[in-house]
């Protein structure tokens, strides 16, 4: 592996910038361009920070005053010799330093290449490497916490524990096959089925944790629906103004919708603004309804808003029909008008969906709306358990695949099929689980994973 270099801090002007270099030649390259103050380069030891100047070796011209940290192999992020040049944080000066590193023999790093090396050199496993990018991209503290736990090896340990169970079963099975004269197949089968059930249960728990993990990561996809003038925009604005911790505004993938994130007690709520639906609705009823149905089906939570000062109308009935089996909250809006027409409405009460009476205009009742959201998603539970969640779809899919093989192994025993067939399924399950931590993982998968990283990480 060659020596790589990249600007690791975000593009833009800041207090300091970090140019990072890793590989066998790091120190040699650095020696050409770094002049430590009051010290000879040779005297510098690892795990040291030195003050000095980055110069253009051809002209001796000073490019910047810098601090350089030295990390000697194997105790570094990548396990290779590494250095980090802390320069002033201007984009031009960082680029000039990068240029000198390249000129002196380093190659520009690919996105995620430092972390990829940490994985390829065996310092961290694949699931830990993936948690680095999750940590960087975290939108809430809870998600960051889940990612840092994964970086510490929580998931790796779990997977290893499960793999060990399977390996134990495997060795029992192999012994039975190798020594048929002892006639222990029956005993092995009984034991194997018990162990396999335990493994299945453990995998189930992990797979289920993905749901909480997904919420931590992607947010609760929430849509506000209601007939025109029910108060959708007012409610959306109220929530956005109330919760100042807006994490980001990103244009939605659907042309007519906008997504905004708010942080509700550490849980991201992804609010999908359905303004577009209304417009389409006015033009062609059909398209509007189809679109709402699509959004409703994809949402994790539907806030349906009704004007409490008016009797139900045709569109209200349509909405009530659409939400009846969904995770939903009914908002009876405009209580400030004093006409509480819908509060005894059987069509609403019979649905057994939480009801919040509020005024989107003056803000009354908003806390009750939040409490209901928290209750619906059992966020207390997530909070207690948030160190133990899977947040990565790839990991969940591997667990799912492993489960299929374990189930087949159990079926094989139940159907009294030859014992070596059980072994085949267990091996498959071991392989699928191994891919989570990166055992025997293909280069394509590795490249795909690291291509999502940022430069310099
Ligand atoms: P949308 O069409 O569903 O988005 O409804 P808007 O949020 O645009 O509200 C329609 C009208 O109802 C506006 O004039 C709002 O000011 C008014 N409105 C919304 N919520 C309330 C409320 O809680 N009380 C009162 N009195 N008026 C409201």
- The count of other CB atoms within 10 Å of the CB of residue 404 is 13
Whether 429 contacts 406, CB under 8 Å: yes
318 CA distance to ligand 1 middle (Å): 20
Question: What are 208-261's pLDDT values in tens digits?
Answer: 888 777 777 778 889 998 888 899 888 988 888 765 433 333 333 333 456 777
The continuous run of DSSP H or E covering 235 comes out as: helix 232-242
Q: Tell me the mean pLDDT in the region 328-353.
A: 93
Does residue 429 carry a pLDDT above 90?
Answer: yes
Distance between CA atoms of residues 388 and 411, nearest Å: 30
Angle CA(396)–CA(133)–CA(203) in degrees, nearest 5? Answer: 20
90 φ/ψ angles, rounded to the nearest 5 degrees: -80, 145
The token duo for 142 is 């809870």
* Percent of the chain residues past pLDDT 90, beyond the cut: 54
363 CA distance to ligand 1 middle (Å): 12
Distance between CA atoms of residues 5 and 29, nearest Å: 11
36 φ/ψ angles, rounded to the nearest 5 degrees: -65, 145
Question: What are 370-428's pLDDT values in tens digits?
Answer: 999 988 876 555 554 455 788 888 999 999 999 999 999 999 999 988 888 999 999 99
Q: Tell me the mean pLDDT in the region 423-451.
A: 93
Q: Tell me the mean pLDDT in the region 183-189.
A: 76
Q: Which of 310, 361, 364 to mutate to test the pocket of ligand 1 (most atoms within 8 A of CB)?
A: 361
Question: What are 145-178's pLDDT values in tens digits?
Answer: 888 998 999 999 999 999 999 999 999 888 888 8
The side-by-side arrangement of strands in the sheet containing 34-36 is 34-36, 48-56, 61-71, 82-89, 14-22, 4-7, 107-108
Q: Is 224 left (phi over 0), alpha (psi -120 to 50) or beta?
A: beta
304 φ/ψ angles, rounded to the nearest 5 degrees: -105, 130
Q: Is 360 in the pocket of ligand 1 (CB under 6 A)?
A: yes
pLDDT at 272: 78
CA distances from 208 to 33, 188, 384 (A): 53, 30, 15
402 CA distance to ligand 1 middle (Å): 51
Q: Which of 226, 277, 332, 360 to mutate to test the pocket of ligand 1 (most atoms within 8 A of CB)?
A: 360
pLDDT at 291: 64
DSSP classification of residue 326: S
DSSP classification of residue 184: -
Distance between CA atoms of residues 234 and 360, nearest Å: 6
| Residue 42 burial (10 A CB sphere; 0-12, 13-18, 19+) | exposed
- The count of other CB atoms within 10 Å of the CB of residue 362 is 13
Partners of 251 in the β-ladder:
258
The token duo for 54 is 């980055």
The token duo for 146 is 């889940």
Would you give the end-to-end CA distance of the chain in angstroms?
17
Q: Is 229 in the pocket of ligand 1 (CB under 6 A)?
A: yes
Give the contacts of 123 (CB within 8 A, at least 6 positions apart): 74, 77, 78, 79
The continuous run of DSSP H or E covering 18 comes out as: strand 14-22
Q: Is 310 in the pocket of ligand 1 (CB under 6 A)?
A: no
Q: Tell me the mean pLDDT in the region 21-27.
A: 97
Whether 155 contacts 395, CB under 8 Å: yes
- CA dihedral over 227, 228, 230, 231, signed as positive or negative: positive
Partners of 52 in the β-ladder:
36, 66
Q: Kindly provide the residue ranges of all beta strands, DSSP E only, lying in 274-427, ordered along the sequence.
A: 301-307, 328-333, 355-357
338 CA distance to ligand 1 middle (Å): 14
Sequence length of the chain is 457
Q: Is 221 in the pocket of ligand 1 (CB under 6 A)?
A: no
- What is the position in ligand 1's atom list of the atom closest to the CA of 362? 23
Give the contacts of 157 (CB within 8 A, at least 6 positions apart): none
Whether 86 contacts 71, CB under 8 Å: no
DSSP classification of residue 288: H
Whether 226 contacts 306, CB under 8 Å: yes
Distance between CA atoms of residues 35 and 51, nearest Å: 9
Q: Is 156 in the pocket of ligand 1 (CB under 6 A)?
A: no
Question: What are 30-62's pLDDT values in tens digits?
Answer: 999 999 997 777 777 778 899 999 999 999 999
More confident residue, 254 or 11: 11
The number of CA neighbours under 13 Å toward the Cβ of 382 is 28
Whether 295 contacts 281, CB under 8 Å: no
Q: Is 336 in the pocket of ligand 1 (CB under 6 A)?
A: yes
pLDDT at 174: 87
On average, the pLDDT of the chain sits at: 86
Q: Is 230 in the pocket of ligand 1 (CB under 6 A)?
A: yes
pTM of the model: 0.70
Does residue 84 carry a pLDDT above 80?
Answer: yes
pLDDT at 393: 87
Distance between CA atoms of residues 444 and 457, nearest Å: 19
346-357 burial string, b = 16+ CB within 10 Å, else e? eebeebebbbbb
Confidence of residue 93 (pLDDT cuts 50, 70, 90): very high
């Amino acid at each position: 592996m060659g020596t790589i270099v990249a600007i690791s801090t975000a593009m833009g002007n800041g207090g300091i910038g970090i140019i990072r270099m890793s590989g066998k030649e790091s120190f040699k390259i650095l020696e050409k361009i770094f002049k430590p103050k009051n010290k000879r380069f040779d005297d510098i030891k690892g795990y040291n920070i030195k003050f000095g100047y980055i110069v253009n070796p051809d002209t001796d011209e000073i490019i910047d005053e810098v601090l350089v940290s030295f990390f000697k192999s194997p105790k570094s992020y990548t396990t290779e010799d590494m250095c980090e040049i802390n320069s002033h944080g201007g984009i031009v000066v960082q680029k000039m330093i990068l240029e000198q590193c390249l000129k002196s023999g380093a190659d520009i790093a690919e996105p995620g290449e430092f972390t990829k090396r940490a994985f390829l050199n065996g310092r961290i496993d694949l699931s830990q490497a993936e948690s680095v990018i999750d940590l960087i991209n975290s939108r809430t503290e809870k998600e960051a916490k889940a990612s840092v736990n994964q970086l510490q090896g929580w998931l790796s340990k779990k997977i290893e524990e499960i793999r060990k169970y399977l390996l134990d079963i495997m060795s029992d099975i192999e012994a039975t096959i190798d020594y048929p004269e002892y006639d222990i197949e029956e005993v092995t089968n009984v034991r194997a089925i018990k162990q396999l059930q335990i493994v299945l249960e453990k995998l189930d728990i992990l797979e289920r944790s993905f749901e909480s993990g997904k919420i931590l990561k992607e947010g609760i996809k929430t849509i506000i629906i209601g007939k025109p003038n029910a108060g959708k925009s007012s409610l959306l604005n109220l929530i956005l103004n109330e919760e100042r911790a807006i994490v980001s505004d990103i244009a939605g993938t659907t042309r007519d919708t906008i997504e905004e994130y708010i942080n509700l007690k550490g849980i991201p709520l992804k609010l999908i603004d359905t303004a577009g639906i209304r417009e389409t609705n006015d033009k062609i009823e059909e398209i509007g309804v189809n679109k709402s149905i699509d959004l409703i089906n994809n949402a994790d939570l539907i806030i349906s808003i009704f004007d409490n000062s008016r009797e139900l109308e045709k569109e209200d009935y349509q909405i009530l029909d659409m939400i009846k089996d969904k995770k939903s909250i009914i908002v009876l809006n405009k209580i400030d008008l004093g006409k509480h027409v819908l509060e005894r409405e059987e069509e609403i009460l019979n649905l057994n969906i939480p009801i919040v009476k509020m005024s989107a205009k003056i803000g009354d009742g908003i806390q009750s709306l939040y409490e209901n959201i928290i209750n619906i998603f059992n966020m207390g539970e997530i909070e207690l358990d948030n160190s133990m969640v899977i947040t990565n779809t790839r990991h969940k899919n591997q667990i799912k695949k492993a489960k299929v093989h374990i189930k087949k192994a159990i079926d094989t025993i139940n159907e009294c099929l030859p014992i070596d067939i059980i072994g085949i399924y267990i091996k498959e399950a071991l392989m699928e689980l191994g891919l989570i931590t990166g055992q025997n993982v293909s280069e394509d998968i590795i490249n795909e994973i690291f291509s999502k990283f940022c430069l310099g990480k």
